[in-house]
Amino acid sequence: VVPTQALNATDYARGVMRLCVCVTWMVACRVGLLIVSPLTLFSRSLSARVRKRISRAWIAGVTRLIGTRITVKGTPPQAPFFIVGNHPTWIDLFAFLTLLDPTPIVEAPLRRVPIVGPLIGGLQPIWIHRRKEDTARVVERVHEAIVEGKSIVIAPETPVTTIVPVGS
């Protein structure tokens, strides 16, 4: 995407401020997960529900904070459903997670990303390793989720990769 005009100082400052607010929100949600982690000692199901609520608040907050406006045309699907996002960005995935309550299929390396990994984990995703040997396990987990009445969302074109600078 190429901007149609150069950014002025006000636009740049607004972008930096928005980024700072998003990072602060993300850290606050991660701290929230840490605070409620002892709930697991008393009730795993209650802990999972609270963690999911915090993680969904994180997704909805970031979606709003980056200025995303979501327009719904038609009636959202009733659970169980299976949605496949068709874009190499996370914006559509964030929109689905904000509007609906699906179980996301997420690439396993994201587990290890500081701050974000635990927040994604709070959504109770199906973690996937992009290997042929993992296919049967993922299909079984998707089947179990749908039988339980849960919905699934995946954006298969969102690989986590290492960016290697040209000339390296």
CA distances to 124, 125, 133, 151 from 97, rounded to whole Å, are 12, 11, 28, 11
Dihedrals φ, ψ of 61, to 5°?
A: -65, -45
The kind and range of the H/E element at 7 are: none
| pLDDT tens track, the chain, 168 positions | 455 667 788 888 888 999 999 999 999 999 999 999 999 899 999 999 999 999 999 999 999 998 888 999 999 899 999 998 876 677 888 889 999 999 999 989 999 999 999 999 999 999 999 888 999 999 999 999 999 999 999 887 655 555 555 554
Check residue 42 and report its DSSP letter: T
**Residue 55 and residue 14: Cα distance in Å, rounded?**
26
Whose tokens are 């930096």? That residue is: 16
> What pLDDT sits at residue 136?
93
Query: What DSSP letter does each residue of 121-136 carry, written as one string?
Result: HTT--EEE-SSGGGHH
Give pTM, 2 decimals: 0.81
